[in-house]
């Protein structure tokens, strides 16, 4: 079974939303299971461990956890979402210290909730200089993503032609490509 892990010690960065979107994507393609380790209960999907699943999507809590290294070691793809602001820099640095122990090719860093009015360009530039060689993906700030999740739907089903849906499709392609490496 292949595992896609969504992890960041910081809460509110989009782990659960992206984990749900990833589960909706893969459950259309193959037998998939969802593991919700975040006790806040914000996921649209419930834990559904299935030994026959080809892929498992794992959502983690927004807190430092002694199991983070083990979760990263066991994952085939590790997605680290972050918001692009100064408050998220130190938690992201801590996550990248752990990530440095593993092969860079299995990581995707998601710069979430980008908009042109923030210091996003500076944040991304800082990251690129500090942590070269990691795959990155940018998702623009969009209320439509949370509107879709509130309806228990993927953005690609809720508003299939919206720019956020197009971004999520591109993100799923990147996950699939990374799983194949």
The token duo for 147 is 């509107």
| pLDDT score, position 77 | 98
- Which residue spans within 29-98 are E strands per DSSP? 32-36, 55-59, 77-83
pLDDT along the chain (181 residues), means of 10: 96 94 96 91 86 94 90 97 91 95 96 77 90 94 90 95 96 96 71
The token duo for 148 is 């879709």
| pLDDT score, position 104 | 95
The token duo for 152 is 């228990």
| pLDDT score, position 110 | 97
| pLDDT score, position 118 | 65
| pLDDT score, position 99 | 96
| pLDDT score, position 113 | 82
The token duo for 118 is 């923030």
| pLDDT score, position 111 | 94
| pLDDT score, position 87 | 87
pLDDT tens digit sequence for 137-152:
999 888 899 899 999 9
| pLDDT score, position 25 | 97
Can you tell me the distance from the alpha carbon of 176 to that of 76, in angstroms, rounded to the nearest whole number?
11
Task: Give phi and psi for 160, each to the nearest 5.
Answer: -60, -25
| pLDDT score, position 64 | 81
Q: How far is CA 151 from CA 29, 39, 106, 120, 144, in A?
A: 22, 21, 31, 29, 11
| pLDDT score, position 117 | 67
**pTM exceeding the 0.85 threshold for the entire prediction:** yes
Can you tell me the distance from the alpha carbon of 99 to that of 102, in angstroms, rounded to the nearest whole number?
6
């Amino acid at each position: 079974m292949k595992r896609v892990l969504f992890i960041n010690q910081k809460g509110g960065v989009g782990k659960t939303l992206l984990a749900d979107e990833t589960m909706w994507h893969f459950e259309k393609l193959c037998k998939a299971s969802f593991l919700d380790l975040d006790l806040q209960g914000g996921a649209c999907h419930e834990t559904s461990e299935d030994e026959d699943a080809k892929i498992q999507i794992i959502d983690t809590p927004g807190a430092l956890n002694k199991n983070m290294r083990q979760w990263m070691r066991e994952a085939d793809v590790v997605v680290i979402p972050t918001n692009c602001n100064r408050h998220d820099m130190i938690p992201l640095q801590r996550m990248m210290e752990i990530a440095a122990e593993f092969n860079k090719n299995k990581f995707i860093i998601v710069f979430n909730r980008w908009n042109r009015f923030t210091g996003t360009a500076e944040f991304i530039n800082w990251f690129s200089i500090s942590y070269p060689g990691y795959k990155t993906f940018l998702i623009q700030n969009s209320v439509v993503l949370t509107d879709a999740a509130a309806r228990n739907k993927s953005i690609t089903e809720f508003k299939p032609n919206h720019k956020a849906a197009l971004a999520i499709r591109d993100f799923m392609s990147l996950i699939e490509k990374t799983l194949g490496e």
